[in-house]
Amino acid sequence: MIAGPVERRQESKLVKITSYIRPAPSWTVEMVRAYLQKHHPEDFNLVDVSQPQEYAAGHLPGALLLPLDSLEERLHELDPEKPTIVYGGSGLPGRAAANLLVNAGFQQVHCMEGGVAAWQGKAAYGLPQQEFAFFAAAGTPQEHIALAWRLEEGARLFYSGVAELVHDRQAASLFRELVTAEEHHKVTLLSLYEGVSGHPAAADFPRGLLAQEPAGELMEGGMWVAEALEWTQGKQIRDILELAMSLETNAYDRYLLLRRQLPDENSRRVFEILSDEERRHLQKLTELLTHFI
């Protein structure tokens, strides 16, 4: 039977509607994790469409926050030619955002099933309120560098203490390797500070460079080194490795964001190198963790 004018119009309308609502491909958390491990952060868009409070509570490292209600007007911040992974706090916002991106002309869009809730502890977590002031105090490139140096020193002290605590030789060796890496990062950051500021760093660097100075040694996420080391007493290797992974995830996330935000090319390049190193540390910790699961 040949369709008449009315049927053809209805069919055409149906095609347009189904084309508009066609779902973007979805990826499981495992698929997203594998993709992030294999690809450089510059090669794809990673978009979190949660609200700012949700983003602060937990997000994938390096994810760009574009809340769903402002996504359409901020599409210019994304490269439509790059593969795009999008997610929300749960599955539904991510799916809606993925369809919006597809209809805006983005060629390779994938929605992470279940959102950040399904990421299972691999998110960059938020900060305890009482320590947030130390992190919020950083505004200028010099302050960001000074804060990064403080956090690297905190991580160095933590890994040094843990290396003496654990009895597993492979784990102790990895933690000593991380101690050396944090020392190198501090040297890199000190050199970057001197280049950005235009003068040699003071002998007590970075004291006095932040508006609020912490009373003790802090690590990523607002954890005090002393409290973290106390927490490790009596814990299984698996628990300690998971804590270390959360620290490296937060450091990786911080450096990814700084390489995107800081104005000069040299600073961005340094933080690109540091973020790549933190990514490798995270991979090594993950590989070691598999032996204790």
54 plus 141 within the same structural domain:
no
CATH number of the domain that 44 lies in?
A: 3.40.250.10
211 plus 272 within the same structural domain:
yes
CATH number of the domain that 161 lies in?
A: 1.20.1260.10
Does some domain include residue 169? yes
pLDDT of residue 132: 47
120 plus 247 within the same structural domain:
no
Highest mean pLDDT among 18-27, 111-120, 144-153, 183-192: 183-192
User: Residue 94 contacts by C-beta under 8 Å, 6 or more apart in sequence?
Assistant: 49, 86, 87, 88, 111, 112, 115
286 plus 143 within the same structural domain:
yes
Query: Among 62-76, 151-165, 211-225, which is the least confidently predicted range?
Result: 211-225
52 plus 72 within the same structural domain:
yes
Does some domain include residue 95? yes
The total number of residues written for the chain in this structure: 293
Domain tally for the chain? 2
Who has greater pLDDT, 211 or 206? 206
212 plus 174 within the same structural domain:
yes
151 plus 89 within the same structural domain:
no
31 plus 135 within the same structural domain:
no
pLDDT of residue 10: 41
- The domain boundary residue, chosen from 107, 125, 143: 125
Confidence of residue 25 (pLDDT cuts 50, 70, 90): confident
- The domain boundary residue, chosen from 87, 106, 125: 125
Does some domain include residue 3? no
pLDDT at residue 225 greater than cutoff 50 = yes
- The domain boundary residue, chosen from 69, 93, 125: 125
pLDDT at residue 1 greater than cutoff 80 = no
Confidence of residue 123 (pLDDT cuts 50, 70, 90): low
Does some domain include residue 30? yes
pLDDT of residue 136: 60
The arithmetic mean of pLDDT across residues 39-59, rounded, is 90
Does some domain include residue 5? no
pLDDT of residue 120: 66
256 plus 240 within the same structural domain:
yes
pLDDT of residue 163: 96
The arithmetic mean of pLDDT across residues 276-281, rounded, is 91
Does some domain include residue 257? yes
Q: Which domain holds residue 204?
A: 129-292
pLDDT at residue 129 greater than cutoff 60 = no
112 plus 235 within the same structural domain:
no
146 plus 253 within the same structural domain:
yes
142 plus 279 within the same structural domain:
yes
pLDDT of residue 239: 86
Average pLDDT of every residue of the chain: 83
Residue 84 backbone dihedrals phi, psi, to 5 degrees: -125, 125
pLDDT of residue 166: 93
Does some domain include residue 7? no
